[in-house]
Copies of this chain bind each other. A is one copy, B any other.
């Protein structure tokens, strides 16, 4: 039983890196197993089925993503205008590209109700919202939640541009952020 758990952990780590690098496109069992350095037979020994593999690995990635966000920007309250600029810069940075691309894939999979993605998607949305709210110089309130949601919409829109080949649009939108005010 111990070997099994250790191998499982190793596989999760290897597959996290692999999914971040390649996205959710080619996730058949055999390539996944190859990326983890084992046979597909063993992959289904460590995990119940394919959904279990993806759910576990992506859940782990989401946790790491949240930690990465926390570490990247100090949890100091700031006005929403500044927070939006800082978050956009962060999210569009090359280091974050793989995560955001995976997030887009997950959102698309959630949209088509494909288990286990709807649950994962709303978990990620909640984490992101909490991260934004914790950095806004407003008291906890419906108003703050609404502002956080709007900021997140902008951020996700920018990410979508970058992913879908609209780098020019993403740059343009980023430039327009300077003109933005909340009152």
- A-side interface residues toward B, CB under 8 Å? 23, 25, 101, 104-108, 110-112, 114, 118, 121-122, 125, 129, 142-143, 145-150, 152-158, 160-161, 163-166, 169-170, 172-173, 175-177, 179-183
> Is B183 a contact partner of A125 (Cβ separation < 8 A)?
no
> Is B164 a contact partner of A149 (Cβ separation < 8 A)?
no
With A105-B108, A110-B165, A156-B157 given, can you name 20 additional A-B contacts, CB distance below 8 Å? A23-B111, A101-B111, A107-B160, A110-B164, A111-B164, A118-B164, A121-B164, A121-B165, A142-B172, A143-B176, A146-B175, A147-B179, A148-B172, A150-B154, A150-B176, A150-B177, A150-B180, A152-B157, A152-B173, A181-B182
> Is B157 a contact partner of A155 (Cβ separation < 8 A)?
yes
> When A112-B23, A182-B180 are in contact, do A169 and B157 touch as well, CB less than 8 Å?
no
> Is A176 a contact partner of B149 (Cβ separation < 8 A)?
yes
> Is B125 a contact partner of A166 (Cβ separation < 8 A)?
yes
Report the Cα distance A107→B164, complex, angstroms.
5
Pairs A–B under 8 Å by Cβ, sample size 20: A104-B108, A104-B111, A110-B163, A110-B165, A118-B164, A125-B164, A125-B165, A125-B166, A142-B172, A145-B172, A146-B172, A149-B170, A149-B172, A150-B176, A152-B161, A153-B157, A153-B169, A180-B180, A180-B182, A181-B182
Report the Cα distance A167→B161, complex, angstroms.
21
> When A25-B112, A145-B172, A180-B182 are in contact, do A160 and B163 touch as well, CB less than 8 Å?
no
> Is A154 a contact partner of B157 (Cβ separation < 8 A)?
yes
Q: Which of A101, A106, A112, A163 has most B Cβ within 10 Å?
A: A112
